[in-house]
Structure 1
Amino acid sequence: MKKILIVLLGSLLILGGCFPTNEKTEEEKEQEGTTPVQDYVGQGFSFVDGDKSAERVKKHEEEIKQEAINYMKTTYKTDVKVNNVVPARNAAVVMVECEEPIQFHTSVIVSLVLNKDDVGSARSEEGEVEKAIVGGLYAKAYKEEFEHLDAFAEKLAKENDLLGMREEAIDKTASEGYTSNHYFLSIFASDYPSVYNAYLENQDISAEELKILFAKDDPTNTILSIPMEFYSKENKLPKQKVANDLAKELQQEVGLPKGNYMVTLYKNFIVNRVGLPDGENVSVEDIIK
Structure 2
Amino acid sequence: MGQSDEKEKKADDGTTPVAEYKGQGFIFVDGDKSKEIVEKNAAEIKKRAIAYMKDTYKTNVKVNNVVPARDAAVVMVEAEEPIEFHTSVIVGLDMQKKELDPSPNVWSQDGVVEGAIVSGLYAKAYKEEFIQLDSFTANEAKKYDLEGYNQKSIDKTQAGGYEQRFYYISVSSLEFPTVYKAYLQNNNLSNDSELLRSLFLKDNPDFSNVSISCRYFFKSKGLPKQEEVDKMREDLNLSKGLPKGLYSIDVYKNFIVNRVGLPNGDSTRAQELQK
TM, length-normalised to structure 1? 0.89
2:224 matched to which residue of 1? 238
Deviating more after overlay: 246-255 vs 235-244:
235-244
Contact 2:215 2:251 in 1 (8 A): yes
How much has 1:113 moved relative to structure 2? 2.0
2:106 matches 1:122: yes
* Distance verdict in 2 for CA 1:85–1:248, change over 3 Å: same
Q: Note closer, same or farther for the CA distance 1:117–1:33 as it changes in structure 2 (3 Å cut).
A: closer
Q: Deviations over 1:178-218 (max 9, x none)?
A: 00110000111111100000000110102111101111111
1:192 corresponding residue in structure 2: 176
Which 4+ stretches in 1 moved above 4 angstroms? none
Deviation track 1:125-162 (CA, whole Å, cap 9, x = no partner) reads 00000000000000000001101100111000001111
Q: Which residue of 2 aligns with 1:62?
A: 43
Residue among 9, 25, 29 paired with 1:48: 29
Corresponding position of 2:241: 255
Aligned with 1:219: secondary structure?
coil
Question: Which amino acid in 1 is paired with 2:23?
Answer: G
Moved more, 277-286 or 250-259: 277-286
Question: Aligned pair 1:84/2:65, yes or no?
Answer: yes
Q: CA deviation at 1:241?
A: 1.2
In 2: Cα distance, 1:170 partner to 1:181 partner: 8
Q: Which amino acid aligns with 2:77?
A: V
Mapping of residues 213-224 of structure 1, within 5 Å: 213-224=199-210
**Cα distance, 1:30 vs structure 2:** 10
In 1, Cα distance between the equivalents of 2:141 and 2:73?
A: 35
* Structure 2: tracts of 5 or more residues without a match: none
Q: Paired residue for 2:166? A: 182
Which residue number in structure 2 is paired with residue 203 of structure 1?
187
The 3-state SS of whatever aligns with 2:67 is strand
Matched, 1:134 2:118: yes
Determine the C-alpha separation between the residues in 2 that align with 1:279 and 1:218: 34
Select between 277-286 and 38-47 the one with higher mean Cα deviation.
Answer: 277-286
Is contact 2:253-2:265 (8 Å) kept? no
SS of equivalent to 1:184: strand
Match of residue 145 from structure 2: 161
CA deviations 1:152-174 (Å, max 9, x no partner) are 11000001111011100000000
Distance 1:285 1:53 in 2: 42
Residue 89 of structure 2 corresponds to residue 108 of structure 1? yes
Alpha-carbon distance in structure 2 between the residues aligned to 1:29 and 1:130? 37
CA drift at 1:29: 7.9
| Distance (whole Å) between structure 2 residues aligned to residue 115 and residue 29 of structure 1 | 36
**Over residues 7-48 of structure 1, what are the superposed CA-to-partner deviations in whole Å (9 max), with x where a residue is unaligned?**
xxxxxxxxxxxxxxxxx89x9389711000010011111111
In 2, Cα distance between the equivalents of 1:74 and 1:113? Answer: 23
Over the aligned positions, Cα root-mean-square deviation in angstroms equals: 1.6
Matched, 1:36 2:17: yes
Q: Which stretch of the first structure deviates more once superposed, 107-116 or 267-276?
A: 107-116
**1:260 Cα deviation after fit:** 0.7
- Please tell me the residue identity of whatever aligns with 1:116: K
What is the distance in 2 between the residues matched to 1:213 and 1:143?
A: 15
Report the CA distance between 1:278 and its aligned residue.
Answer: 2.4
Residue-by-residue CA offset, 1:249-281 (whole Å, 9 max, x unaligned): 000000100111011111101111111112411
Tell me the distance in 2 between the aligned counterparts of 1:232 and 1:29: 17
Cα shift at 1:115 = 2.7
- Given residue 47 of structure 2, which amino acid in structure 1 is its aligned partner? Q
Query: Aligned pair count?
Result: 265
Q: CA deviation at 1:230?
A: 0.8
What secondary structure does 1:185 align onto?
Answer: strand
Establish whether residue 275 from structure 1 lines up as the match of residue 261 from structure 2.
Answer: yes
Partners of 2:237 and 2:273 within 8 A in 1:
yes
2: CA distance, partners of 1:78 / 1:221: 25
Report the TM-score when normalising by structure 2: 0.93
Amino acid at match of 1:50: G
Give the % identical residues: 53
Is the contact between residue 31 and residue 269 of structure 1 (CA under 8 Å) also seen in structure 2? no
Mapped partners of 2:223, 2:44: distance in 1: 44
SS at match of 1:45: coil
Q: Residues 235 and 269 of structure 1 are in contact (CA less than 8 Å); yes or no, is this contact kept in structure 2?
A: no
- In the alignment, what sits opposite 1:8? none
For 2:98 and 2:152, the matched residues in 1 are separated by 31
